Structure 1
Amino acid sequence: MMNVEHIHHYSHHLGRDMNIRVYGHDGLPIVAFPCQDGNCYNYEGYGFLDNIADYIDGGAIQLYVVDTVDVESWSNVWGDKGWRAWRQEQYFHYIVEEVLPCIYSRNHSGKQPITFGCSLGATHAAIVFLRRPDLFGGCLALSGAYDAKYFFDGWMDEVLYRNSPVHFMENLPPDHWYVELYNQRKPIFCVGQGPWEDEGRRTTAILRDQFNAKGIGAWCDFWGYDVEHDWPWWKKQIRYFLPYLL
């Protein structure tokens, strides 16, 4: 039976209670971000864990599925945009300064965590990894949208800029010390070219071109025109990429 632990804790960055579901007893730690507006049960609900149970039960990976505050940030279309952007910034700091120490207190693999997500979860995974490659060993971002203005009706301020990969990566100097770190890590960005993948395909292509221009060897993989923005394909993709991450 799969080892499952539930962590309920108070976040000082967010000023509210948060939850983390831990699957597996050890192995490469993976911070898993739910899809838009999801919570820590997201991957259970869609049978995603059964798809990778052999990796989890065999001790190859240990999944840490976090809650989100998307309903207050990315999805809060009628809210004040500046507050929404700041809420996302608080969430970023919650992951880096509260979730990451929690992982290190429980995981004994000695490996840096990988960030992972599908759809908006992939957006979170990309933001966290690309902003802090010194803390994370890579990312697996499936069908993400990496232009924050897409969620904010074209609006942006300096806070949202820090959470918009296609913008902050565009301005990263080619000689920035992060470039070497990216090339020591394992960043993967995958997107289909079928239904509901338009924004993901557009922004993944932008990131690919930015990576190439700066000499960053990220793996940007574009799957076929039959590949939809949906769970059956994400299940296939994680099994395809996990051996590379391991």
Structure 2
Amino acid sequence: MFIENYSKWHSNHLGRHFEMLKFGAQGYPVILFPTSLGRYYESKDRGLIESARWFVEQGKIQLYCVDSIDADSWYNRHIPAAKRAYNHACYDDLLFNDILPRIQSETGYERIAVAGCSFGGYHASNFAFKHPENVSYLFSMSGTFDIKPRVDDHYDDNVYFNNPIDYMPDNEHPDLWRMGIILGVAEEDISRGQNEYMSRVLDAKNIAHWLDIRPQTRHDWPVWKEMFPHYLSLIK
């Protein structure tokens, strides 16, 4: 059944309300992040949820479309870079301490999948690489992996520990080697270079993954709507 549920609650981690859409009633749980400055309903409005309809209706997956706080973190040039990084650290606390336990309780799964397009691919990758004991699949579609352009010349622990390009070479968490990782990117993609670089980082650590470069495509929703159902079909 294609069930849609809306949730809103006050998050102590953010100090404000947070919103989320859920699609499906059974199946493997997938957190789906929006693109840059996107909201929890973006994937529905853009047709990405529709591309996964069959998997939801067949009870194979449940999609948790979380909101972003990009406007209060990495994309807010009106606050100091240290505050941007701190706000994102609070967002990670929300994901790990509020949303993950809720999903685990509702679905019975201890490990989940995460996915996102464009800057949503950053969010998915960062969460997966930071918490591999709780993530079994990562589907990054045209994602980015270097947050430093968003913090000017500032650098602190909140930047380092939320910047996959920096912390992944030293990340030795054993569950990274049992995660299904796909780095999907278009052939003519603004983020292709970052995906190729992250692929080399994973190769150097012998972490199995698939760098999926889609020919004759660009950084846009049509290629993501092709990638997403394909990747979902690989969940076992």
Aligned pairs for 1:142-157 (under 5 A) are 142-157=141-156
The CA deviation string for residues 165-202 of structure 1, in whole angstroms up to 9 with x for no partner, is 11111233xxx3x1x312212111111121xx22x212
Q: Which residue of the partner structure matches residue 223 of structure 2?
A: 233
CA distance in 2, matches of 1:104, 1:170: 29
CA distance in 2, matches of 1:47, 1:154: 37
> Structure 1 residue 193 and structure 2 residue 192: aligned?
no
CA distance in 2, matches of 1:111, 1:24: 18
Aligned residues: 236
Q: Which residue of the partner structure matches residue 35 of structure 1?
A: 35
CA distance in 2, matches of 1:149, 1:101: 30
Cα deviation for residue 218 of structure 1 reads: 1.9
Q: Which residue of the partner structure matches residue 214 of structure 1?
A: 205
CA distance in 2, matches of 1:242, 1:104: 19
What fraction of aligned residue pairs are identical, expressed as a percent? 27
Q: CA RMSD in A?
A: 1.4
Q: Which has the higher strand share?
A: 2
Gaps of 5+ in 1: none
Aligned pairs for 1:109-120 (under 5 A) are 110=109, 112-120=111-119
The CA deviation string for residues 125-152 of structure 1, in whole angstroms up to 9 with x for no partner, is 0000000100111210101110011222
CA contact (8 A) 1:139 1:186 kept: yes
CA distance in 1, matches of 2:200, 2:50: 35
Cα deviation for residue 222 of structure 1 reads: 1.9
The CA deviation string for residues 101-144 of structure 1, in whole angstroms up to 9 with x for no partner, is 11122214x36210110011110000000001001112101011
Letter in 2 for 1:65: C
Q: Which residue of the partner structure matches residue 101 of structure 2?
A: 101
Cα deviation for residue 155 of structure 1 reads: 3.7
CA distance in 2, matches of 1:90, 1:218: 29
Gaps of 5+ in 2: none
CA distance in 1, matches of 2:53, 2:2: 8
Relative to structure 1, the CA distance from residue 143 to residue 154 in structure 2 (aligned partners, 3 Å threshold; closer, same or farther) is farther
Letter in 2 for 1:220: L
CA distance in 2, matches of 1:128, 1:233: 23
CA distance in 1, matches of 2:5, 2:64: 9
CA contact (8 A) 1:32 1:63 kept: yes
TM-score (norm 2): 0.95
CA contact (8 A) 2:169 2:205 kept: no
Q: Which moved more, 1:97-106 or 1:150-159?
A: 150-159
CA distance in 2, matches of 1:112, 1:158: 26
Q: Secondary structure at the match of 1:232?
A: helix
The CA deviation string for residues 86-109 of structure 1, in whole angstroms up to 9 with x for no partner, is 00111011101110011122214x
Q: Which residue of the partner structure matches residue 169 of structure 1?
A: 168
TM-score (norm 1): 0.91
